[in-house]
């Protein structure tokens, strides 16, 4: 009888995307469980890698030989059975490697690095010994070029050999405490001390106090007090008076919020009460229903979420709530933590790896019952989930751009079925996909059509920028918007100004010859960053200084183009010199906590105008904001993207929703070069349903989602003709394999034809029902992966955000 473990190894290539069998040594048999990380030898060489146990089975007779599991890296599984099944589902759903999906689901700190070392080989030479010196092993990655060359030569001679070592990143934070020895008689100890042993007297005094009070203070606190230092404590430990005990602590990113008194549930409005009752009934009945909550901005959706969560908790179940990345920092966290305190674990990209790891462990250990987080929080190891909530469900940030290309909404819907729990998809402007599903009865549509306290939605004025200058406009500002800003300044009210940066970036162009500075690795112009005075490629990270003369013709007439937030800020200072302006964009929020600092300052009234990019459109709730201005509504409309109108409508509606949320009435100004465009007109009327109907008609005519499902396939290769050849043969394969109803668009060069020195070609498949599609794509993937050694990469993106 042998016990065999099936292991997915950390080598993402085709041959390793299925589990491998390993023998479980007797000594490990009792402790090993599926969902634990292990360390194994892989392939013919001595290579050692990390892996995940996905199954264990006893086998009477094993044909062939089995390598053993070398080590188990966990005491308890890091993936429970639901997590394991989810990872498998995710791999099939996204056409990604299973191991990549597993790693996506786990905190970064649980990734095990494999380090290559060189050690003395079977035929050691003097040179090899000299190279190692007094060290037993050298880390290959640390060596300089010349040494690496010698090492490679010595490896070939067997004078050196490769060894693999693992480096687990998981670090538990510990704090040292002073524990007075319970049985110690400090009075007796003092009697034996000399009178001038001041330090020891002081220590005994302190220990006597702590013993009496039953406290075990942190060493850092004792030392900070100044009377004693660590050496005194160590000396006390030697005498048996105390022990220094390392205790595990969590890195708690929102500890200060947990200390505050909890907020009480608000009495619900009649509309809120109806919605809450409907969803709560499904929570109680453990019914896997999906509710689309269409509620205008400021209609109190968040209060509904909080009360539904409270109901799940009262039933001893847990709750998961996803919010867009930006909304998390920080107002939404305050509201959920404010209601449920330390029961809430928060997960988003603004946390350090250590903080993320600790929040994850609190969830895994059942110490947190509510999870609030961005996209990847959908994988949090919460058990017994009673309700799932996705706020602003239309947000594009729920879709991950690189492998695994998953949509958090799909993950949530899948998990909700497993947990027999309802899902709330909330938005003022639902995605067309979700709203269409509600129309078909797949989801239940719930409405919150009014703002709280019947505050009206703010009137929206559309300003035609095509003749703004004729009417006294200056720079990027129409006369109307300027007047409205001045009125707010005079009244001491606040304004929010948004610069829509979608489909547009600032770049540097020569006015003499038109030369635009391009990335040397990618076919795209470099983006200007004023704060560091550099040009950067947002794709490969290339960075260079801003040129003072044109690199092409030598002219000095090189100019910065595009209305960056910095430029608008300058203009504001010139036009409204007394206004205090806060700017919020990627440059001012790059540092940790940057969002929070700016919003706190604005909330505290330290500025009159908050100027920012899209990131100010969501979730802000400031009572003193009575004016919202959109400087350029249109930049996104020009993009060759079938979702351009939808995104523009959503953005304008969201940002307009920031005005007049409390007792003071609000007003919105939208500056546009396409004032007649239906996306802008429907946003002006706060008419989501009208927009939905018109946009659906357009999608229907163009055979776009949600009438069709879509998949985008991308092929890349360092040589352009290779990439082109591959995509054309792939298009042929697909046309033969799929039904005549499927539409294959392209192939075309990628929107950015060259990226990181690789050429990209793509095609898009539109279909309604293709039972053979997944298998065909999987086959394509396997065939090309076999060719990946010759430089091909294939990317498959289910329901891409755009076709570009
Ligand atoms: P939404 O999420 O739909 O934009 P919010 O949940 O932010 O709306 O609610 C808007 C404002 O109304 C918030 O300041 C919130 O505290 C307040 N609010 C919500 N529900 C109630 C209620 N039942 N009674 C009083 N105020 C409420
Ligand atoms: Zn680049
Ligand atoms: Zn030039």
- Name the residue at shortest CA distance from atom 19 of ligand 1: 300
Domain containing residue 71: CATH number:
3.40.1440.60
Residue 353 near residue 109 (C-beta atoms within 8 A): yes
Q: Are residues 284 and 179 in the same domain?
A: no
Q: Which residues of 45-54 are buried (b: 16+ CB within 10 A; e: fewer)?
A: eeebbbbbbb
Q: Are residues 601 and 465 in the same domain?
A: yes
Q: Are residues 83 and 229 in the same domain?
A: no
Question: What per-residue confidence (pLDDT) applies to 504?
Answer: 47
Q: Is 165 part of a structural domain of the chain?
A: no
Q: Which residues of 335-360 are buried (b: 16+ CB within 10 A; e: fewer)?
A: bbbebbbbbbbbbbebbeebbbbbbb
Q: What is the largest CA-CA distance in the chain?
A: 99
Find the 303 Cα to ligand 1 centroid distance in Å: 6
pLDDT bracket for residue 562 (50, 70, 90): low
Please, which residues have CB within 8 angstroms of residue 215's CB and are 6 or more apart in sequence? none
- Phi/psi zone of residue 15: left (φ > 0), alpha (ψ -120 to 50 degrees), beta? alpha
Higher pLDDT, 589 or 207: 207
Question: What per-residue confidence (pLDDT) applies to 611?
Answer: 93
Q: Are residues 150 and 67 in the same domain?
A: no
Find the 516 Cα to ligand 3 centroid distance in Å: 8
Q: Which is the closest atom of ligand 1 to the Cα of 267?
A: 23
Asked if pLDDT for residue 565 goes beyond 50, the answer is yes
- Per residue in 306-336, pLDDT (tens digit) is 999 999 999 999 999 999 876 666 778 889 9
Asked if pLDDT for residue 527 goes beyond 90, the answer is no
Asked if pLDDT for residue 290 goes beyond 90, the answer is yes
Find the 529 Cα to ligand 2 centroid distance in Å: 15
- Name the residue at shortest CA distance from atom 17 of ligand 1: 300
The ligand minimizing its distance to the Cα of 327 is 1
- Give the separation between CA 98 and CA 6, rounded to whole angstroms: 13
Q: Are residues 365 and 465 in the same domain?
A: no
- Name the residue at shortest CA distance from atom 15 of ligand 1: 300
Higher pLDDT, 534 or 429: 429
Mutate to test the pocket of ligand 1, among 268, 302, 657, 662 (most ligand atoms within 8 A of CB): 302
The ligand minimizing its distance to the Cα of 756 is 2
Give the mean pLDDT of 48-54: 93
Q: Is 677 part of a structural domain of the chain?
A: yes
Q: Are residues 280 and 393 in the same domain?
A: yes
The ligand minimizing its distance to the Cα of 267 is 1
Asked if pLDDT for residue 539 goes beyond 90, the answer is no
Find the 326 Cα to ligand 3 centroid distance in Å: 39
Q: Are residues 549 and 692 in the same domain?
A: no
Find the 505 Cα to ligand 3 centroid distance in Å: 20
Q: Is 340 part of a structural domain of the chain?
A: yes
Domain containing residue 773: CATH number:
3.30.70.600
Of 218, 248, 278, the one marking the end of a domain is 248
The DSSP H or E segment spanning 720 is helix 720-737
Stretch among 51-55, 369-373, 505-509 having the lowest mean pLDDT: 505-509
Find the 772 Cα to ligand 1 centroid distance in Å: 48
Of 616, 641, 619, 621, the C-alpha closest to 631 is: 616
- Per residue in 764-793, pLDDT (tens digit) is 999 999 999 999 998 888 877 776 667 888
Asked if pLDDT for residue 531 goes beyond 70, the answer is no
The ligand minimizing its distance to the Cα of 551 is 3
Residue 391 near residue 412 (C-beta atoms within 8 A): no
Counted domains in the chain: 7
Question: What per-residue confidence (pLDDT) applies to 530?
Answer: 65
Of 696, 731, 751, the one marking the end of a domain is 696
Q: Is 315 part of a structural domain of the chain?
A: yes
Higher pLDDT, 568 or 790: 568
Q: Which is the closest atom of ligand 1 to the Cα of 391?
A: 2
Please, which residues have CB within 8 angstroms of residue 40's CB and are 6 or more apart in sequence? 7, 9, 20, 22, 48, 49, 50, 51, 67, 69, 70
Q: What is the chain's mean pLDDT, rounded?
A: 88
- Name the residue at shortest CA distance from atom 4 of ligand 1: 298
Q: Are residues 572 and 636 in the same domain?
A: yes
Domain containing residue 324: CATH number:
3.40.50.300
Q: Which residues surround ligand 3, an ion (CB under 5 A)?
A: 510, 512-513, 515, 550, 552-553, 555
- Per residue in 80-95, pLDDT (tens digit) is 999 999 999 999 999 9
Cα 659-308-283 angle, rounded to 5 deg: 145
The ligand minimizing its distance to the Cα of 335 is 1
Find the 499 Cα to ligand 3 centroid distance in Å: 29
Asked if pLDDT for residue 466 goes beyond 90, the answer is no
- Half-sphere CA count of 316, side-chain side, radius 13 A: 0
Question: What per-residue confidence (pLDDT) applies to 326?
Answer: 65
Question: What per-residue confidence (pLDDT) applies to 503?
Answer: 44
Of 516, 531, 561, the one marking the end of a domain is 561
**Residue numbers of the domain that contains 314:** 255-451
Q: Which is the closest atom of ligand 1 to the Cα of 619?
A: 4
Distances (CA, A) of 45 to 10, 68, 120, 345, 785: 16, 15, 16, 43, 22
Find the 518 Cα to ligand 2 centroid distance in Å: 8
* Most confident option among 19-28, 307-316, 561-570, 700-709: 307-316
Asked if pLDDT for residue 184 goes beyond 90, the answer is no
Q: Are residues 482 and 511 in the same domain?
A: no
| Beta pairing class for 423-427 and 290-295 | parallel
Higher pLDDT, 16 or 802: 802
- Give the separation between CA 222 and CA 213, rounded to whole angstroms: 15
- Give the separation between CA 432 and CA 691, rounded to whole angstroms: 10
Q: Are residues 259 and 339 in the same domain?
A: yes
**3-class SS string, 656-683:** HCCCCCCCCCCEEEEEECCCCCHHHHHH
Find the 562 Cα to ligand 2 centroid distance in Å: 20
Find the 546 Cα to ligand 2 centroid distance in Å: 16
pLDDT bracket for residue 457 (50, 70, 90): confident
Mutate to test the pocket of ligand 1, among 296, 303, 448 (most ligand atoms within 8 A of CB): 303
Asked if pLDDT for residue 803 goes beyond 50, the answer is yes
Q: Is 546 part of a structural domain of the chain?
A: yes
Residue 78 burial (CB count, 10 A): 22
| pLDDT above 70 as % of the chain | 95
Q: Are residues 298 and 411 in the same domain?
A: yes
Q: Is 703 part of a structural domain of the chain?
A: no
Find the 753 Cα to ligand 3 centroid distance in Å: 24
Mutate to test the pocket of ligand 1, among 295, 333, 339, 452 (most ligand atoms within 8 A of CB): 452
CA dihedral 631, 634, 639, 644 (to 10 degrees): 110
Q: Is 804 part of a structural domain of the chain?
A: no
Residue 98 near residue 91 (C-beta atoms within 8 A): yes
Q: Are residues 442 and 352 in the same domain?
A: yes
Q: Is 168 part of a structural domain of the chain?
A: no
Q: Which is the closest atom of ligand 1 to the Cα of 448?
A: 3
The ligand minimizing its distance to the Cα of 542 is 2
| Beta pairing class for 370-373 and 709-717 | unpaired
- pTM for the model: 0.85
- Give the separation between CA 749 and CA 760, rounded to whole angstroms: 6
Give the mean pLDDT of 52-74: 89
Question: What per-residue confidence (pLDDT) applies to 47?
Answer: 83
Mutate to test the pocket of ligand 1, among 275, 300, 307, 338 (most ligand atoms within 8 A of CB): 300
Among all chains, which residue has been given the structure tokens 């060359």?
149
Distances (CA, A) of 463 to 29, 564, 631: 73, 20, 10
- Angle between helix axes 331-340 and 301-314 (nearest 10 degrees) is 30
- Give the separation between CA 693 and CA 676, rounded to whole angstroms: 17
Q: Which is the closest atom of ligand 1 to the Cα of 623?
A: 14
The ligand minimizing its distance to the Cα of 522 is 2
Higher pLDDT, 503 or 266: 266
Ligand 1 site residues (CB inside 6 A) read 266-269, 272, 295, 297-303, 452, 621
Stretch among 362-371, 549-558, 715-724 having the lowest mean pLDDT: 549-558
Asked if pLDDT for residue 544 goes beyond 80, the answer is yes
Q: Which is the closest atom of ligand 1 to the Cα of 272?
A: 23
Find the 557 Cα to ligand 3 centroid distance in Å: 8
Find the 519 Cα to ligand 2 centroid distance in Å: 5
């Amino acid at each position: 009888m042998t016990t065999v473990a099936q292991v997915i190894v950390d080598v993402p290539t085709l041959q390793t995307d299925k589990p491998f069998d390993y023998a479980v040594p007797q000594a490990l048999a009792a402790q090993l469980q599926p969902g634990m990380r292990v360390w194994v030898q892989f392939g013919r060489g001595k290579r050692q890698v990390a892996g995940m146990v996905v199954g264990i089975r006893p086998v009477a007779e094993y044909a062939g030989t089995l390598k053993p599991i070398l080590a188990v890296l966990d005491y308890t599984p890091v993936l429970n059975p639901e997590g394991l099944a989810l990872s498998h589902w995710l791999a099939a759903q996204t056409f990604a490697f299973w191991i990549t999906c597993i790693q996506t689901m786990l905190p970064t700190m649980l990734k095990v690095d494999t380090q290559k070392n060189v050690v003395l080989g079977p035929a050691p030479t003097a040179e090899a010994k000299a190279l190692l010196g007094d060290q037993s092993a050298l880390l290959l990655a640390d060596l300089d070029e010349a040494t690496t060359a010698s090492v490679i030569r010595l490896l070939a001679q067997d004078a050196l050999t490769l060894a693999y070592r693992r480096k687990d990143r998981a670090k538990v934070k510990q704090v040292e405490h002073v524990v007075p020895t319970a049985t110690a008689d400090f009075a007796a100890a003092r009697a034996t001390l000399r009178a001038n042993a001041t330090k020891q007297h002081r220590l005994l005094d302190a220990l006597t106090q702590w013993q009496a009070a039953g406290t075990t203070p942190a060493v850092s606190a004792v030392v900070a007090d100044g009377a004693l230092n660590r050496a005194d404590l160590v000396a006390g430990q030697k005498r048996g008076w105390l022990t220094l005990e390392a205790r595990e602590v969590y890195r708690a990113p929102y500890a200060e919020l947990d200390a505050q008194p909890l907020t009480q549930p608000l009495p619900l409005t009649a509309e809120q009460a109806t919605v809450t009752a409907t969803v709560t009934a499904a929570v109680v009945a453990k019914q896997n229903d999906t509710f689309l909550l269409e509620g205008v901005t400021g209609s109190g959706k968040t209060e509904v979420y909080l009360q539904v969560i409270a109901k799940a908790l009262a039933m001893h179940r847990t709750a998961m709530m996803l919010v867009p990345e930006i909304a998390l920092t920080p107002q939404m966290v305050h509201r959920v933590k404010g209601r449920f305190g330390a029961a809430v674990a928060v997960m988003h990209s603004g946390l350090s790896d250590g903080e993320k790891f600790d929040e994850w462990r609190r969830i895994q250990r059942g110490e947190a019952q509510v999870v609030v987080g961005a996209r990847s929080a959908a994988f949090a190891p919460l058990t017994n989930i009673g309700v799932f909530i996705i706020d602003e469900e239309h947000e594009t940030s729920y879709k991950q751009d690189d492998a695994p290309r998953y949509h958090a909404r799909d993950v949530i819907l899948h998990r909700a079925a497993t947990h027999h729990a309802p899902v709330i998809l909330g938005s003022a402007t639902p995605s067309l996909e979700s709203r269409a599903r509600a129309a078909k009865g797949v989801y239940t549509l719930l409405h919150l059509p009014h703002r709280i306290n019947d505050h009206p939605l703010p009137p929206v004025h559309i300003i035609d920028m095509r003749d703004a200058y004729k009417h006294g406009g200056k720079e990027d500002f129409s006369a109307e918007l300027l007047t409205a800003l001045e009125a707010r300044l005079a009244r001491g009210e606040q304004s929010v100004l948004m610069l829509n940066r979608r489909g547009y970036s600032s770049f540097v162009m020569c006015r003499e010859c038109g030369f635009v500075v391009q990335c040397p690795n990618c076919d795209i112009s470099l983006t200007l960053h004023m704060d560091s005075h550099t040009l950067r490629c947002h794709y490969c990270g290339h960075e260079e200084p801003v040129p003072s003369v044109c690199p092409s013709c030598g002219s000095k007439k090189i100019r910065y183009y595009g209305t960056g937030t910095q430029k608008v800020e300058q203009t504001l200072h010139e036009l409204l010199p007394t206004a205090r302006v806060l700017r919020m964009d990627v440059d001012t929020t790059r540092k940790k906590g940057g969002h929070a600092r700016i919003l706190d300052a604005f909330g505290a009234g330290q500025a009159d105008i908050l100027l920012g990019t899209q990131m100010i459109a969501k979730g802000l709730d400031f009572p003193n904001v009575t004016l919202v201005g959109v400087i350029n509504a249109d930049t996104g409309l020009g993009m060759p993207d079938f979702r351009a109108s939808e995104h523009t409508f959503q953005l304008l509606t969201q940002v307009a929703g920031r005005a007049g949320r409390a007792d003071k009435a609000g007003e919105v100004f939208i500056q546009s070069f396409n004032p007649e465009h239906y996306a802008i007109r429907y946003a002006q009327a706060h008419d989501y349903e009208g927009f939905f109907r018109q946009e659906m008609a357009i999608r229907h005519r163009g055979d776009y989602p949600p009438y069709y499902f879509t998949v985008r396939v991308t092929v890349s290769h360092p040589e352009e003709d290779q990439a082109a050849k591959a995509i054309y043969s792939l298009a042929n394969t697909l046309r033969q394999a799929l039904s005549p109803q499927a539409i294959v668009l392209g192939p075309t060069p990628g929107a950015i034809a060259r990226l990181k020195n690789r050429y990209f070609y793509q095609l898009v498949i539109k279909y309604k029902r293709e039972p053979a599609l997944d298998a065909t794509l999987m086959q394509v993937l396997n065939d090309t992966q076999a060719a990946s050694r010759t430089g091909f990469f294939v990317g498959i993106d289910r329901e891409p955000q755009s076709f570009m």
